[in-house]
Amino acid sequence: MSTFHFILSLSWLEIALGLVVLTLLIREKAVSTFWPVLVLSLWQIPPTFTLFLLQRYRYFTAQHAYAIYYFLYWILFALEAAAAIALTYTILHNAMRPLKGLQSLGRVVYLWAAAISVVIALQGGFQPNKDVYKLVQFLVLQLQRASGIITVSLVLFVGVAIRPMGLSLRSRIFGTGIGLFVLSLINTLQSNYFMEQKTLYGRYGVIHTVTNCVVELIWIYYFAVPEPQRKFILLPTTSPFHRWNQISELLGQDPGYVAIGGIPPEAFAAAEIEVFHRASAKMNALGEANEPPKPERLEK
């Protein structure tokens, strides 16, 4: 069996496993939460079916057929990188759910870091002297590299913090993180190696497709077995998670406002003035009740 037919067989296996992942997500009603998992599992369907149709029905010349398949493959490969970034955000967002302050702060920091990394990667990959085929390939690989570095770093952080967040190693957040870590690590390590290949169907294609199948098997396991209940979070007062959560909540709160005088009475509504009068009268009454009794003056 040639390498082309071997990778094609693995691609059909990958599609079948992706459909199993889709079925499990629908059964567990988790599509809205883990929708990037579906993109990572099913992105191979359009190029695989396109290749099958182009080989079966030869309506285009070989050059045009290759261009159709080439650009479709690399555009969807870029979509995979974007889905990996989105899944990393989903994992981080759900892992930090009990700590609202860290969740809000982490969302802002992650979105800024992801945007800056993607812009720098695309800017570094843009080389006008390359032909359009090489340019598209180079840009997508730079995007994959940036996505892989961001994903691997943040998934490692979530893996370290999984216990303090009240999650277990059998939770779906941890399972999706493990699969995403493996996928992003392989894509990052092989991004430079892929530039040396002259065909889509080399050793890189075999390793990439096998990795996708392994990752989908991991996700199938975690979505097939029951997920344990999340535990209550018990953090000591000296815990950095507790301290940073307090700081983040304080930073995210809207400040209060105090009127310091110089405001004319007509600036207030009649109901507001009535509330002020009643509150002032109540405070005066409480103040008089709490005053100590005055000693009676002795008459001479």
Instruction: Write the pLDDT tens digit of every residue in 111-158.
Output: 777 777 677 766 665 666 667 877 788 888 788 887 888 888 777 777
218 is a domain residue:
yes
Dist CA 139 CA 75 (whole Å): 10
Model pTM?
Answer: 0.69
**What local confidence, expressed as pLDDT, does residue 232 receive?**
63
**What local confidence, expressed as pLDDT, does residue 228 receive?**
80
Number of folded domains that form the chain:
1
At residue 209's C-alpha, the angle toward residues 10 and 132, to 5°, is 115
pLDDT band at 298 (very low <50, low <70, confident <90, very high): very low
**What local confidence, expressed as pLDDT, does residue 19 receive?**
93
Mean predicted confidence (pLDDT) in 21-26:
92
75 is a domain residue:
yes
pLDDT band at 47 (very low <50, low <70, confident <90, very high): confident
Task: Specify which of 24-38, 84-98, 133-147, 239-253 reaches the highest per-range mean pLDDT.
Answer: 24-38
Letter string b/e over residues 260-299, b meaning 16 or more CB atoms within 10 A of that residue's CB? eeeeeeeeeeeeeeeeeeeeeeeeeeeeeeeeeeeeeeee
Residue pair 234/31 in contact by the 8 Å Cβ criterion: no
115 is a domain residue:
yes
271 is a domain residue:
no
What is the extent of the structural domain holding 167?
Answer: 3-232
The percentage of the chain sitting over the pLDDT mark of 90, rounded to a whole number, equals 8
Q: Using the predicted structure, report yes or no on whether residue 300 has a pLDDT greater than 50.
A: no
170 is a domain residue:
yes
The model's pLDDT over 146-187, given as tens digits with 9 standing for 90+, comes to 788 888 877 777 777 777 677 777 888 888 988 988 888 888
58 is a domain residue:
yes
Q: Using the predicted structure, report yes or no on whether residue 236 has a pLDDT greater than 80.
A: no
